[in-house]
Amino acid sequence: MSLGPIMLDLAGPEISAEEREMLLHPLVGGVILFTRNYASPEQLQQLVADIHGLRDPHLLVAVDHEGGRVQRFRHGFTELPPARVFGEIFDHEPKRAKQLAETCGWLMAAELRALGIDFSFAPVLDLDFGVSTVIGDRAFHRNPEAVGELAISYMLGMNRAGMVATGKHFPGHGAVVPDSHVDMPVDERRFEDIIAEDVQPFGRLVRGGLGGIMPAHVIYAAVDHKPAGFSSFWLNDILRGRLGFQGVIFSDDLTMQGAHVMGDIVERGRAALAAGCDMVLVCNHPEESVNLLDNLGTHDDPVAHVRLARLHERHNLDWVSLRQDPAWQAAVQVADELRGRGTGELEL
């Protein structure tokens, strides 16, 4: 059975009977985990193994695990610094900042991979214009070159641990005040300005082999009346065409307020896939997941199947062995030294 185009979530730390049935649906291709799905490393490892055991090829298991405010698993995991910390160091010691970013990218990915998780939706490639509270310290820097330098280092660290990187939120969420979780942000800037600044880090990482990209639920009014994740212009003309991106395009959560402009959940799913997304996310609303599975209709994209298969976990790591590895111990010390500049978890 091929991987379907829908990524769902779970209600708790185990798969319920109803969820098991949903995950066997041919339209499902992955599961995104949240804090509510985590109790301990041992429990998480079993949960991931149970999800992987349902299908062949196995369903992709993902998580938002950037560090700082967005880190789903905490107790038992290393507390990771927010991306802004690397940007602050970059202003004075760019070489050291890049080394630290690579170390923390490896550490994040290695800990997740040791428990079987396929990938994390990281890093954030948005620019910090100082106006977006939902982005804020999740961004590396205001300068696109600095973001590109730090993000490529972070991605290299992830790759060393056997995990591909997924950049977000294309073409850039940092210049709008509203939070697309609860509002419909509109960016009024010129296309030329967005390309010259916000898109630059994405282009840099695409050239470096970026595996996935998540577009923003933001309308760029001077360019298209649709949010980027539903825009063929942004996804096909710019991302696939101009930037040459060959990886997976994930929608952001289709239940977010910024997606509601595209209609009901079925209309949103169809529109995102038609615009160029390979996989769409439905989170925190089980009834919407059922509705989409029941009514989306047949969707078979052989090219998307190949792209998604590239995200399967690589390099088998063991949780116990990892924690005995001097490289892990040194990386934890680095993260500990950077810790304390964050502001607690962000509920997304």
Q: How far apart are CA 5 and CA 2, in angstroms?
A: 10
Domain extents in the chain = 6-338
Sign of the CA dihedral running 132, 136, 138, 142? positive
Query: Per-residue pLDDT tens for 248-258?
Result: 999 999 999 88
pLDDT at residue number 340:
64
Tell whether the model's pLDDT for residue 345 goes beyond 70: no
Indicate if 181 belongs to the active site.
yes
pLDDT at residue number 83:
97
- CA 214 to centroid of chain Cα atoms: 6
Cβ-Cβ contacts under 8 Å for 341 (sequence gap 6 or more): 81, 82, 84, 85, 137
pLDDT over 70 for what percent of the chain? 97
Tell whether the model's pLDDT for residue 58 goes beyond 50: yes
pLDDT mean over 9-38: 97
Catalytic residue among 181, 260, 299, 305: 181
Helix (H) or strand (E) holding 232: helix 232-232
Neighbours of 330 (CB within 10 A): 11
Domain 6-338, CATH: 3.20.20.300
Catalytic residue among 64, 118, 126, 252: 252
Helix (H) or strand (E) holding 252: strand 248-253
Tell whether the model's pLDDT for residue 342 goes beyond 50: no
Tell whether the model's pLDDT for residue 313 goes beyond 70: no
- Average pLDDT score, the chain: 94
Tokens for 37? 């799905």
Tokens for 305? 């199947």
Tokens for 127? 């620019």
Indicate if 75 belongs to the active site.
no
pLDDT at residue number 312:
83
Closest C-alpha among 215, 186, 206 to residue 275: 215
Q: How many angstroms separate the Cα of 214 from the Cα of each of 122, 124, 187, 294? A: 10, 10, 17, 25
pLDDT at residue number 87:
97
pLDDT mean over 325-340: 93
Give the N- to C-terminal CA distance of the chain in Å, as an integer: 31
Q: How far apart are CA 80 and CA 65, in angstroms?
A: 9
